[in-house]
Homo-oligomer: A and B are copies of this chain.
Amino acid sequence: MTKAVFYHAGCPVCVSAEQQLLGLLSQDVQVDVVHLGEKPARIAEAEKAGVQSVPALVVDGQVLHINYGAALADLKA
């Protein structure tokens, strides 16, 4: 079982990427979907993982930034 975290902020580009990407993943991948707009307390965790923008998928400690969404800094405002 591979564990992954999908960070997003509820923006249209995030939701679109989420639907597309998560639908493609193997059932062996357990994905924790985190809405940083609703859970700002997890922004620090995302930053520590190397997330620079959302949507992003973190797997095994590495970050895949998907499309061009919101910069993490914008979510702190």
Contacts and interface: CB of A to CB of B under 8 A. Distances in A.
Contacts of A65: 66-68
Number of copies: 2
A43 to B, nearest CB: 20
Contact of A26 (B24, B60, B63): B24
Given A25-B26, A26-B27, A20 B62 contact: yes
Nearest to A4: B24
Nearest to A16: B62
Interface string A17-58: 100110011110100000000000000000000000000000
Interface of A: 2, 4, 16-17, 20-21, 24-27, 29, 59-60, 62-68
